[in-house]
Every structure is written in structure tokens, then in C-alpha cells.
Chain A
């Protein structure tokens, strides 16, 4: 908890590693402006409107109520909204999520005795929109060749991977399920049946709710008694899909409507698509290749695999090649979603960029235990095999941050 507090405190005051003032003057280098436009479109960027998936308005309304409802927690009191807030760019502003048991928002959640979820809460922008079909840090739900791949196997509750993803948080221990001895004894079997038991109970709960029940019944044209958790998840998906859809950005106006960029934003864009090689992984309409890569970010004291270790994608595939790899994070609104990395260990965006090409700069190895250093060596291996950027200086990093600001909305 002390580590979280330390990182949270840091996130309030970006470290002054930036040396040169950003150049706010309008960019006028036509060669570079043209080259950047071509690079952006060649790497899959499209208008926001082309990504939107229409949703049923009644399902959306029911989903909005469910999103804010603590009924989603089987034995606690936590809603989706508690960790996905507007003021934190649809995440929670904390290094790692503090799940069931916590109260309030942001740092307040640290003082309520909530249970630690060992990964950074993800922002929702673009989730479930066109082509966004790989979910969570480790991609435990995805679509491959038109089929949903998830822990449900052949029994996936939907052929829409986003709806399948909506089924998971409600059965995630410490996230929305209070990890009590009774739960450990009766439900922790890692089977679909135990998940079904929880979700059947949740569906009945929502159906009985005097406000949400009628909304759900009306949205699906069924009596409240026939509502299943799939309807709950489908409604939630409709709300998140629409509420957090991608909106037009400054970059979109620049690329498609000849809008302006500042000199710093232009330079950052040239770096992003050029010498910085960011585009090697941050490509496509969401600035993510939806694949899995390793970056040797500092690891917070918590880890999915215990002792501050998180094997990432390996936890899903059990392929040793996937150890320490995580899905490339999409970048819309990235300047608003600090702290960064799967363990939220990086308080500022400039440091997150530095971690890609100079991870040791962020670490004091002398203060680490032997085991922590051993884990670091193991993470450095796969990270070094990624397409690393050229060594960037402080001005370069500052200009990259300026460019990333153009995909805010």
C-alpha cells in the first residue's frame, strides 16, 4: 500500500525531466506535414465515426444503470463506475485497482481497506468499437478468425468478444468478489460452473431491482423473470461501447481536414512514426496492434503471479515465449490516464516513454532485492528483442508527449 501511495503521490507532480519549452507555433514545414499525414493514414488511422458501432438505445440505458450499480458485486458493494471515472480518463488514477471493500474514488480508495487487484485499471476508450477485439492486459478475451477465444472455451456466452469480456469482472476475486473464507471454500474452483452460479444470482438481483429490472425487460422484450446475465452483460457492453466511443481528435482534423498542428506536435508525430519506432506496436485505428509485447517497466510490489511478478500473456497461453508480454495499450486519451504500465508503476507519460528505450533509468537496482533484480533481468530479455526506439533525448520525449496530446478528446 505504501508503494501505491508513493506512486500516486508522484502522479500529482510530473517529474521535471523535460528540458526545452514546447514550441506552440503553428507548424509550417510542408514536407514534414505531408509526410506525417501519409504515415498516419498508412498505419491505419481512420475517422472516429468509422469506428463507432451502433448500439440499441434501450440496452444502453439499462447498461448505464448497471454500470453505476453496486449490485454487480455478489458479496460486496462496488460498481463498475467506482474504478472507471471521467476525471481519470475512464480509469481510476491509481497504480493498481483497489477493488471490493474500498470506498470513494482515486486516492480515497487506498484508505478504505479495499482488496488489491494486481493490475492497473484499464481505460475504456474504444472498447468494443469496430476492430477492437482483444481485451484486458493479457488478452484473455479476444476474437481470432471470427471466433471468440476466452476461458469459456466452446461455451462462450456470446459471439461478441466484448460481451464475453463483460462477463469477467463480476467473477473476479478481489475486483468485484470479496475474497472471504466462504468464497474460497465454495466458489474458488476456476470452473465455469462457479462463475455461472454467481452470475445467475446477479441476474436475478438485477431483474428484481425496481429500476433496473424494468429497463432490462423492456430492452430485450422479455419478462423480468427471464433475464439472464447475458442480457446484463449485453446492456453493459452497449453502454460502454457508446459512452466511451472514440471521438474526433486534433489528429483527425489534421489528417483529414487540413487542421493545424504546433511545431512540437509535428516533431513528435515525425518521431512517433519514424525514429521513435512507436508505430511498430502502436499502430492501427486505436494505436495498438492488439498483439503482445514486452517493455521492461518497473514492476510494482504486486503482481498477478505473486512476489511482485506478473507473467502477463503467459498466464493465458502458458507459452514461455509470452512471458512478460502484455497487449499493446491503445493510446486515445493516454495523457489523461496516468499512472502507466500493467502495474501502474510509472507516474508520468514521459517516464512511460523512457521505459521503452531506457528502462534502467527508472530503477534504483541497489534498493531492489535479489529476487526483484532476477525478475528484472528476465524482463529485460524479451524487452530487448522488441523494435526499440533510437535513444531519445528529453526534447524528443517532450515532443512525443505533445503529439500524444493530439489524440485526446
Chain B
């Protein structure tokens, strides 16, 4: 014969689960905001470094094609090695995804990094991102 408390125990557990899910659901955006906040600076640096490394590499290849010279070739090699920073960027980004950030949050972080000099545009960027 089932305990007279069994029914209420199931209800209690279901209730606790529901509350937990509701809390997690509510807390998730806050968690993501916290992850974004604490990683924005480092991630922004890596975004900038990778972007500059890619531009340097492209410029070096273009220069080497237009004006072939040993110096230009050496700069292509330097540009290639410079792209290593993009590996740091990729790894860091995947770690952020492991911590729960989605592509939309990462895109927002990238935009904030890119627009870092125009701090008054930050709000505009955020609004722009929410519309996606």
C-alpha cells in the first residue's frame, strides 16, 4: 500500500523542479549578461588583434604580389605567424559558448569591441542586436 505521503512527495518534487526550471529560465539571461560582462575586455582585445592580423596578412600578400621582393615575402611570413592570434580568438570564443553564450551574444560582444571607440553607440548597438 503506497504511503499516504507518496503523492504529496511527487507533487513536492515536481513543484521544486518547476521552480528550479523557472528560476534557471529567469536567471539564464542574467548569467549570460554576467559572462559577457566579465569577458568583454579580453574577447574584445582578441577580436581586434585577429582583425588586425588578418588585415596585415592581406596587405602583406597584396604588397608581395604587386612588388615582389625578399622583404615583402618576409612580411607575408610575419603575417602568417601573426594569424596565430586568431586561434586564440577561436578558442576563447568556443569557451564562451561552453559557458552558455549564443552566437547572438557573441556578435554583440564583437560589435561592442569594434565600436569600442564610439562608446555612445553602445546602446544603439545593443538595441540593434535585440532586433535580431
Contact = CB atoms under 8 A, between A and B. Distances in A.
Interface of A: 32, 35, 39, 42-43, 270, 273-275, 277, 279-280, 283, 387, 390-391, 393
Nearest to B45: A393
A275 B49 contact: yes
Contacts of A270: 81, 84
Contacts of A274: 53, 78-85
Interface in B73-95: 74-75, 77-85
Nearest to A278: B78
A275 B56 contact: yes
A397 B100 CA distance: 33
Contacts of A35: 81, 84
Contacts of B77: 39, 42, 273
A275 B52 contact: yes
Contacts of B78: 273-275, 277, 279-280
B98 to A, nearest CB: 20
Interface of B: 45, 48-49, 52-53, 56, 71, 74-75, 77-85
Given A32-B84, A274-B84, A275-B82, A390 B53 contact: yes
B74 A280 contact: yes
- Which of B45, B52, B74, B78 has the largest number of chain A CB atoms within 10 A? B78
B125 to A, nearest CB: 22
A283 B78 CA distance: 12
Given A390-B49, A390-B56, A393-B45, A273 B75 contact: no
**Chain B contact residues: helix, strand, loop or mixed:** helix
A279 B53 CA distance: 15
A170 B85 CA distance: 50
A277 B82 CA distance: 9
Given A274-B53, A277-B75, A279-B74, 9 more contacts: A39-B77, A39-B81, A273-B77, A274-B80, A274-B82, A275-B82, A277-B56, A277-B78, A280-B78
Contacts of B71: 280
7 contacts: A32-B84, A274-B83, A274-B85, A275-B49, A277-B75, A280-B74, A390-B56
A391 B45 CA distance: 11
A387 B78 CA distance: 11
A273 B79 CA distance: 9
Nearest 4 pairs between A and B by C-beta?
A274-B81, A275-B82, A274-B82, A390-B52
B75 to A, nearest CB: 6
Contacts of B84: 32, 35, 270, 274
- Which of A39, A274, A277 has the largest number of chain B CB atoms within 10 A? A274
Contacts of B74: 43, 279-280, 283
B81 A387 contact: no
A293 to B, nearest CB: 12
Given A279-B74, A280-B75, A393-B45, A273 B52 contact: no
A109 B13 CA distance: 84
Nearest to A269: B81
B68 to A, nearest CB: 16
B81 A391 contact: no
Contacts of B56: 275, 277, 390
Nearest to B87: A31
Contacts of B82: 274-275, 277, 390
Contacts of A42: 77
Contacts of B49: 275, 390
A39 B78 CA distance: 8
Contacts of B79: 274
A60 B52 CA distance: 51
Contacts of A273: 77-78, 81
A391 B85 CA distance: 13
A270 B71 CA distance: 18
A32 B82 CA distance: 11
A35 B52 CA distance: 20
B85 A275 contact: yes
- Which of B56, B81, B82 has the largest number of chain A CB atoms within 10 A? B81
A393 B80 CA distance: 20
Contacts of A275: 49, 52-53, 56, 78, 81-82, 85
Contacts of B83: 274
B91 to A, nearest CB: 11
B73 to A, nearest CB: 10
Contacts of B80: 274
B87 to A, nearest CB: 8
A387 B64 CA distance: 14
A37 B84 CA distance: 14
A390 B86 CA distance: 14
A283 B49 CA distance: 23
Nearest to A392: B49
A42 B53 CA distance: 20
B56 to A, nearest CB: 6
Contacts of B85: 274-275
